[in-house]
Structure 1
């Protein structure tokens, strides 16, 4: 049985959210005035979730999104007008039916957004903790713009809940996908996973496979799976999928993943291949209950045949696990 449920966070720190804050910090370090916009609440079919960020520089450049269309333009305009020392501006956008298209909410959603001046020191701490996979929570006083930061689970648990004049934005580590095996399927899967908001690392000890030009924009590590993974953090926001189809390499990666809190562990191979794999891992002292965590044959059963189709099935299964949705099994040769 695959692990198919994890804790849902009030604000989902995807890889792109971290990139927005890093961009804002770079602008500040370059001497540009920067404003942040954050989604406080949503109703209906708003396209971005609560906690979504958008950074706006003084010259009008922006990163991230709080919605779309004219809502973005309106938020950028308000951000550029926000003066130093001014309290956060609270913006509300609500539309229905045919008027929705005019303000960028085509499904008729409603959103409330705060635009405020971020503190550089706090952004530095958030991004540093983000890199170390330490959770943080930014508390924003909506009446005067005062900000404070809690670091680590214990400090975050001690925070009060959101109040009418106080918003708390939780920053978890990015959802991370580790792919063992720099094979053809991995090339497709890595790009798709990045587009879906995962921070992706591909590892393979075979130098002929671990070529950077085959994985542009992706963290690529050439090394033995057990050695590489020993230096990484595999926590409850980490998925590991092993695609090498080489028993020694797959087994090494799976052992490390099964000993971790990874929310998803998957492996390529047919039902017969996986049965042999279970025998090997069982002989190595891993209990059946632990082995049941492995999703194999990997991927949703959509009849996938080509590398691209198999990559789609794998990513879909990982997303289902991330969102706590039940899923079936596929068959691979």
Structure 2
């Protein structure tokens, strides 16, 4: 009979460490908590851990799982992770280990570690209130752009997983469906119902979200706002989030055209873009030709 090993092999230890990292990361993201993983990508000299070692850090700057070696290198790594999460951007840094950093454990000074910090955050959330033609087209556009999609509509014939693959489908009235949504600062809402726009909009007041779009004409949008004010709703409380009518003036009129204009508006706001064209202007072509002409002359 083969004798069981007294200890795990290095490969088994590495596999277990990766599993712990993955589980911790998944748990944080399932709770919609941003976090970061830091990985030693290269090293030279003596360092307290090896290339590939990882640590998971949450937004508070707390170590959740893993290690890059403890001591000063870990303290610096955790600080870099916390700063990267706050900024929302990946980063790299190089850490030079000294005798003092080594803590008198006999390692040679001069060790160096290159560490990459990867920021992880939950996908931005799109809540579609109403499962009509426009929101159906919008869901198709937004999922490839990295959004998680939730659809709220009490009509099962319209709101179902066959029509909205990969989405969370809630067959409920808007206010009831909202109770199942994890509202966040990166939640985008688009209201496009057959006859529930006013209660859907009213029930959103006070909820965490960055964007409330309403599929409507200007006349209908003004009517909705007037009704809200009549009901005692503080319009100023949602003014910064409210986009009614929703979308950019791209000119199309089909459901797909309108969905594209909404997607463009959301992406512009999400990434801090503008309405400016990216093309090279004709006058710039003319200046370039003039410079070339002068050089050749």
* Structure 1 unaligned spans of 5+: 1-82, 88-115, 329-333
- 1:291 and 2:238 equivalent? yes
Deviation of 1:297 (Å) = 0.7
Single out whichever of 119-128 and 212-221 deviates more from structure 2. Answer: 212-221
- 1:281 and 2:228 equivalent? yes
Q: Look up the SS of the partner of 1:297 in the other structure.
A: coil
> For residues 159 and 287 of structure 1, do their structure 2 counterparts lie closer, same or farther at Cα, with a shift above 3 Å needed?
farther
How do 1:99-248 and structure 2 match up within 5 A?
119-142=18-41, 143=43, 144=50, 145-153=52-60, 155=62, 159-161=78-80, 162-164=92-94, 165-246=114-195
Deviation above 4 Å: which 4+ runs of structure 1? none
> For residues 255 and 127 of structure 1, do their structure 2 counterparts lie closer, same or farther at Cα, with a shift above 3 Å needed?
farther
Within 1, Cα distance between the matches of 2:143 and 2:218?
A: 29
Deviation of 1:118 (Å) = 6.9
Q: CA RMSD, aligned part only? A: 2.9
1:152-191 Cα offsets, whole Å, 9 max, x none, are 44549x9322422222211111111110001011111111
Larger RCO, structures 1/2 (Cα 8 Å, 6+ apart): 1
CA contact (8 A) 1:268 1:298 kept: yes
Q: Give the alignment's TM-score, normalised by structure 1.
A: 0.58
CA contact (8 A) 2:153 2:171 kept: yes
> For residues 154 and 278 of structure 1, do their structure 2 counterparts lie closer, same or farther at Cα, with a shift above 3 Å needed?
farther
Q: Which residue of structure 2 aligns with residue 307 of structure 1?
A: 255
CA contact (8 A) 1:177 1:200 kept: yes
Within 2, Cα distance between the matches of 1:277 and 1:210?
A: 24
Deviation of 1:84 (Å) = 4.3
CA contact (8 A) 2:228 2:235 kept: no
Q: Give the alignment's TM-score, normalised by structure 2.
A: 0.65
1:89-114 Cα offsets, whole Å, 9 max, x none, are xxxxxxxxxxxxxxxxxxxxxxxxxx
Q: Which of 179, 189, 210 is the equivalent residue of 1:263?
A: 210
Q: Which residue of structure 2 aligns with residue 324 of structure 1?
A: 272
Within 2, Cα distance between the matches of 1:256 and 1:235?
A: 16
* Structure 2 unaligned spans of 5+: 1-9, 44-49, 64-76, 81-91, 95-113, 277-297
> For residues 177 and 124 of structure 1, do their structure 2 counterparts lie closer, same or farther at Cα, with a shift above 3 Å needed?
same
Q: Look up the SS of the partner of 1:202 in the other structure.
A: strand
1:32-89 Cα offsets, whole Å, 9 max, x none, are xxxxxxxxxxxxxxxxxxxxxxxxxxxxxxxxxxxxxxxxxxxxxxxxxxx949x9xx
Q: Which residue of structure 2 aligns with residue 70 of structure 1?
A: none
CA contact (8 A) 1:245 1:268 kept: no
> For residues 242 and 327 of structure 1, do their structure 2 counterparts lie closer, same or farther at Cα, with a shift above 3 Å needed?
farther
Name the larger-Rg structure.
2
Deviation of 1:327 (Å) = 5.2
The alignment of Structure 1 onto Structure 2 pairs a total of residues equal to: 216
Q: Which residue of structure 1 aligns with residue 201 of structure 2?
A: 254
> For residues 124 and 255 of structure 1, do their structure 2 counterparts lie closer, same or farther at Cα, with a shift above 3 Å needed?
farther
Within 2, Cα distance between the matches of 1:192 and 1:117?
A: 38
